[in-house]
Structure 1
Amino acid sequence: MKQFTDQLGTVHTFENTPKRIISLVPSQTELLFDLGLEDSIVGITKFCVHPFHFKSTKEIIGGTKNVKYDKIKALQPDIIIANKEENTEEIVQQLSDICPVWVTDIVTIEENNKMIEDFGNLFNKRTNAQKWIDKINFGYQEFQHLVASKFEENAKQKVAYFIWANPYMVAAGNTFINEMLKINGLENIYDNNPKYEGRYPEVVINKMRIQGDPDFVFLSSEPFPFKDEHAFELGRHTHHAKTIFVDGEMFSWYGSRLVKAFEYFTKLQEKLYVYK
């Protein structure tokens, strides 16, 4: 019997290494694949789009917040991988009647790497896990050096990161997206803004000028499909902000995706430098 503790502090006990895995989080599905666990994954959500072939080779068990309980039970999983932000407490409690539900809680790169280390230990993929942690740390250090040496003029530019329209919602503090903005040297005008509560608050866009007046407005590719009309409308409520469509996966997907994210951020820094 081996005991492991997830990122909410819940202790899980396993007689053997879990062999049948259901993942309720797209970015963690990608990570499990990259750790070499494709054959162990038996169920995923409809939002788990990477790797692409999984949608035809794995059982779809619903969405991240609306799972099909009976379908999950029929798959006889040894473990279900969830996340505090992506999945509800009710889902976690309900699924715990089937098998252990491992819950991650990630805001920082350090917490991201701890998740990878945990998966390495949990699924006996320690060598693969360490390789990905090393890649992420190397990419992070290289990107930090690049920002400090080449794009230091971008630092402290103000940004508003929109994730939804009708109503307009943004990524605020205590989110992984906010951490990625900080890594890029950008100041999120909704981080610790006393006017708005929560991690993804609904905001009044006609008050952007007096509540931060950003230099850039980022429109995420997910979960909302922003269009040019949204960019135009938001731009009207700032003095001089440039509106940029950004890849939401690079800002909100943790796990092994960070390796690609640092490459994406390098190109983004070049774009911001031109716009400045």
Structure 2
Amino acid sequence: MDHAAIDAAGTEHGRAGSSARIVSLVPSITELLFALSLDAHIVGRTGFCIHPRERVRHVRKVGGTKAVKIDAVRALRPTHVIVNIDENEAHTVDELRRFVPHVIVTHPLAPRDNLALYRLLGAIFDREREAETLCTALQARLDAVAARAWPERHVVYAIWREPWMTVARDTYIAAMLRLVNWQTLPVTYGGSAGAARYPGFDFDAPWLADVDRVLLSSEPYRFTETHADALRRDPRLAGKRVALIDGEFVSWYGSRAIAGIGYLMDFASA
């Protein structure tokens, strides 16, 4: 068995064959499957799987990433369901394992992990050539961003408000930001494992004194210029740059990471 066909849960997967029926419960991976020319095999997706827009609209919806309609998945008779450790609930994955022959678990934590992700799916679904094309494109972007000297910036990347929430340094988002030497704050977190990865914060926190930029993501909470303007007027953030940032380009792994790195380079240079 090729090592490229071992998923994030350590499960080995053989070749799927020409009769594969795939349900993707991860928006960024749904987009990746289309990039691998697997259109004919994709039979189900979540309502959050919105790219590529014109092609994905023909695929049946099976609920959300954390509200999967198990009966809808079962009705599609999938041979493979693709899930993600962060995005899908463990109990949902356990239910799926009862009737889905192959559950593929993914868990990229850094942009470079996409190379293994491309090759994993390429090996399983007989798309090695397409996977290597994506690998070449991603590696070129990784080399380009590494070739430049980026001044260090301390940032807080907001993903939610009421309550305000940010990302820990062990998340994919933080790893993307580090490509341009943007270091997320705070450095350490308390609380449960989930809360520690996506912790709450408030603008009275002492560590905010070290923040250079406040980044307001377009997802999962859709921050707008109204929110940004309000924070720019907040005296606690005086002297700090507040900006909206495209969450899809920063948080989506898969094929979007290639364009995402280019976007981040332009964003950091502005």
TM-score, normalisation: structure 2: 0.90
2:245 matched to which residue of 1? Answer: 246
Alignment-derived partner of residue 219 in structure 1: 216
1:186 maps to a residue whose letter is: W
Q: CA deviation at 1:233?
A: 4.4
1:8–1:234: structure 2 CA closer, same or farther, 3 Å change rule?
Answer: farther
Which residues in structure 2 correspond to 1:164-243 (within 5 Å)?
Answer: 164-190=160-186, 192-194=187-189, 198-207=196-205, 209-235=206-232, 236=234, 237-243=236-242
Change over 3 Å in CA distance of 1:2–1:95 after alignment to 2: farther
Distance 1:21 1:2 in 2: 21
| Superposition map of 1:149-164 within 5 A | 152=150, 155-164=151-160
Amino acid at match of 2:265: T
Counterpart secondary structure, 1:244? strand
Secondary structure class of the residue paired with 2:237: coil
Residues in 1 aligned to 2:2 and 2:115: alpha-carbon distance in whole angstroms:
21
The gaps in structure 1 that reach 5 residues or longer are: 272-276
- Any idea what SS the aligned residue of 1:108 has? coil
Residue of structure 1 in register with 2:96 after alignment: 95
Cα displacement (A) at 1:266: 2.4
Give the whole-Å Cα distance in 2 for the aligned partners of 1:187 and 1:15.
40
Q: How many residues align?
A: 263
Secondary structure of the residue aligned to 1:11 is: coil
Question: What whole-Å deviation, never above 9, does each CA across 1:146-182 have from its counterpart, x for those lacking one?
Answer: x32xxx3xx2111100000110000112100000110
Q: What letter matches 1:93 in structure 2?
A: D
Task: Give, in angstroms, the shift of residue 243 of structure 1.
Answer: 0.4
User: Aligned with 2:159: secondary structure?
Assistant: strand
Query: What does residue range 142-153 of structure 1 map to in structure 2 within 5 Å?
Result: 142-145=144-147, 147-148=148-149, 152=150
Rounded to whole Å, the distance in 2 between the matches of 1:102 and 1:199 is: 23
2:87 aligns with: 86
Alignment RMSD (CA, Å): 2.1
The TM-score normalised by the length of structure 1 is 0.89
1:98 Cα deviation (Å)? 1.7
Please list the CA deviations of residues 58-82 of structure 1 after superposition, one character each: whole Å capped at 9, or x if unmatched. 1000000001111111100010000
Identity %: 33
1: CA distance, partners of 2:112 / 2:224: 34
Residues 29-178 of structure 1 mapped to structure 2, 5 A cutoff:
29-99=30-100, 100-145=102-147, 147-148=148-149, 152=150, 155-178=151-174
1:10 aligns with 2:11: yes
**CA displacement at 1:226 relative to structure 2:** 1.3
Give the conservation status (yes or no) of the 8 Å contact 2:15–2:126.
Answer: no
**Post-superposition offset of 1:18:** 5.8
